[in-house]
Amino acid sequence: MSDQEYIPKSKAGKWFNDRLPLLTLGAHLTDYPTPKNLNYWWTFGGILTFCLLTQIITGIVLAMHYVAHADLAFASVEHIMRDVNYGWLIRYIHSNGASMFFLAVYIHIFRSLFYGSYKSPREVIWIIGLLIYLLMMAAAFMGYVLPWGQMSFWGATVITNLFSAIPLVGDSITTWLWGAYSVDNPTLNRFFSLHYLIPFLILGLVVLHIWALHVPGNNNPVGIDIKKPSKDTVPFHPYITIKDAFALLMFMIIFAGFVFFSPNVLGHSDNYIPANPLVTPAHIVPEWYLLPFYAILRSVPDKLGGVILMFGAIFILFVLPWLDTSKVRSAVFRPIYRQFYWIFVLDVLMLGYMGAMPAEGIYLVLARVGTIYYFAHFIIVMPVVGLLEKTDPIPMSISEPVLTGGADPALARKDNEKI
């Protein structure tokens, strides 16, 4: 990084900055050299920060009115919806905000997969990102339990029961998680506590995520290393800030569309029925953003096997930087991998769909095929394609696109080696 020594103009500023260099940090963030060719898929980092802050702020207000008790939770949510000033708005922003958060994070993750942002030297950014994603899933799951509706209760029952698949100690662990002999008031209480804690853990990891990003700098659609600062970069402010602001506003329009005009379309109607341990819903389904993993879980006939595969589906992502053997980052220059990338996207969407369907007949067969392909993509496709694929010529810099200059394969190969 080529930060020039920053010297505050005012005397007071200099005094303070010598003791805590916050102004230096501010100057670094403002000048941070960013590749000028970032496309709109790169705006989702800023959008995700907005989502996190929105969830934290609305969540804090909701917690002022919510009661974490099995007998009172459902009624307190209705109290928020009916009697708290703009309670309906705050709650709908929070509940739809969770979905928007996941929508944005999935775009962010698939962006990284397409452009190879997880590859050296950005493995640590990727791994911190995955930790954030894991915590997001935990927070979302526990948040969904809080209204104490039918899906809350039975979703909590299904997910916590997964731990009982662990040999020998499974049942004890499940009882320990519940704080009771079934999902009950103690479970709700601790879920509320953890639901309040996790967003702040995520916030801490977001700081590390950005810190780790600022060491090598952004990847870019061409996927090559660039000199910073250079004619290939622009300062973060105002170029990237204004672009992020524009993308964020577009995102907010969609967000507002859900909040104001179909606030319940992403939820399940059963969650407006108060939790009843004696009545099991016909189909227990998690929120849409967890469906692909739910499909993987149910595609295995053995409970423990299903749990292992479901967690494996996430943990395999942690070793992705080392499974991908290609020296070229961006799929733009990888004609074969690009095909497999889109098949993989299709596979995940199909798994999500199967997760919403009953686990029987053709749905189960397709879920199994999808699960096998999911793992094959990482274990077979990525290492093998990376080794065998003949990549397209890569430009030397962002300013010299390979298409206009007439590619020199010798230069391209040299660049490959550097990566």
Partner 1 sequence: MKRFNIKSLLFIAILLAASFNKLYSAGGETEPLKVDWSFKGITGKFDRASLQRGFQVYKEVCSSCHSMQYLSYRNLGEPGGPEFSKQEVKAIAASVEITDGPNDQGEMFTRPGRPADKFKNPYPNVKASIAANGGAYPPDMSVLVKARPGGSNYIYSVLVGYEDPPEGITLDDGVYYNKYMIGNKIKMSSPLSDDIVEYSDGTQATVDQMAKDVTTFLSWAAEPELEERHRTGVKVIIYLVLLTTLVYLSMKKIWSRVDTEV
Footprint of partner 1 on this chain (CB under 8 A)? Answer: 36-37, 75, 78-79, 81-82, 88-89, 92, 234, 238-239, 242-243, 245-246, 249-250, 252-253, 256-257, 259-261, 263-264, 269-270, 272-273, 338-339, 342-343, 345-346, 349-350, 353, 356-357
Minimal distance, residue 403 CB to partner 1, in Å: 15
Minimal distance, residue 368 CB to partner 1, in Å: 18
Minimal distance, residue 342 CB to partner 1, in Å: 4
DSSP state of 381: I
The token pair that represents 118 in the structure block = 């997880």
Residue nearer to partner 1 on the CB measure, 87 or 199: 87
Residue identified by tokens 């639901």 is 195
Residue nearer to partner 1 on the CB measure, 32 or 92: 92
Q: 95: closest CA among 64, 67, 65, 62?
A: 62
Minimal distance, residue 75 CB to partner 1, in Å: 7
Residue nearer to partner 1 on the CB measure, 181 or 261: 261
Minimal distance, residue 169 CB to partner 1, in Å: 38
Residue nearer to partner 1 on the CB measure, 20 or 265: 265
Residue nearer to partner 1 on the CB measure, 57 or 252: 252
Can you list the positions of beta strands (E) in 203-331?
233-235
Residue nearer to partner 1 on the CB measure, 34 or 174: 34
Q: For residue 350, how many other CB atoms are within 10 A of its CB?
A: 18
Q: 371: closest CA among 299, 302, 301, 321?
A: 299
Report the b/e string of 208-239 with b at 16+ CB within 10 A: ebeebbbeebbbbbbbbbbebbeebbbebeee
Minimal distance, residue 361 CB to partner 1, in Å: 12
